[in-house]
Amino acid sequence: MMPEAAGEEAGVSEMPSPLFAANWKMHLGPSECSAFVARFAGLYGPRDDRRVVFFPPAVSIVTFVASATGREDLEVGVQDVHPEAEGAHTGAVSASMAADAGARWGLAGHSERRREFGDSDELVGEKLARLLDSGIKPILCLGETLQEREEDRLYEVLSRQIGAALRELDASRRQALTYAYEPVWAIGTGHTATPTDATEAHDILRKRIAHLTDEETAERATILYGGSVKPDNIDELLASDGVDGVLVGGASLDPESFAAICSAGSR
């Protein structure tokens, strides 16, 4: 479960595609987490052509690591970290604490953090830096609301979010990011972006990544799609141009459902 030392700088590496990420949000405490891992491990065997990453609640990270002993292919991440390294921040989790618990990945900028907790684009950038400081591989989440989409502001919103988040990162650190496009209007609503929608947004992101880094980094960047991903639409999503994997919410809470998703596609 710990393929990299927590203190290592999270750098660019060749990663198999697709990448399947499970965001459990505020579900599955330690006992439920343990039961989930046992069931999932029996349904999904190790594969070398993809990566599977789980983002349990912070209280379940240590349990996940212990439960997945012997399954180095099942990686674990933290859903959110505080932008400060330590301090009087009741209820918060630092990136170094998450790394010490076993987290090797970290989310930043999820739409629910932006909406419910007021995470600004600039704050998201600070969290990216803190994750990288702790050797955690960050996944930067970006996406537009329904109103923004109806106002034809997709390019504007994605450009603003990625530009502000990467502003404080130097060139080498910008190369270390994974991205997740999550149309806010499709998260938990049952609505899913069409392959054309996903391809359009991912193309915008890849071009912005090239502008903020370089063409090679943009070409190699992993960009996930997130928003009402299910077993019955995973094949279509993975077949969409520019989609390198998925960030799954509700469907990742069921071991059978998520095992089916992780078994989909062949590249």
Nearest alpha carbon to residue 146 among 177, 182, 174, 110:
182
Catalytic residue, from 75, 112, 126, 182: name it: 182
Nearest alpha carbon to residue 100 among 129, 136, 73:
136
110 is catalytic: yes
Which amino acid, residue 21? A
Catalytic residue, from 82, 110, 144, 202: name it: 110
User: What tokens does 149 get?
Assistant: 């989409």
Question: What DSSP line would sit under 6-54, residue for residue?
Answer: TTS--------S-EEEEE--S---HHHHHHHHHHHHHH----SS-EEEE
Under 8 Å CB-to-CB from 140, ≥6 apart: which residues? 108, 109, 124, 128, 162, 165, 177, 178, 179, 180
Q: Taking a C-beta distance cutoff of 8 angstroms, is the pair 170, 11 a contact?
A: no
Q: Hey, which residues are catalytic here?
A: 110, 182
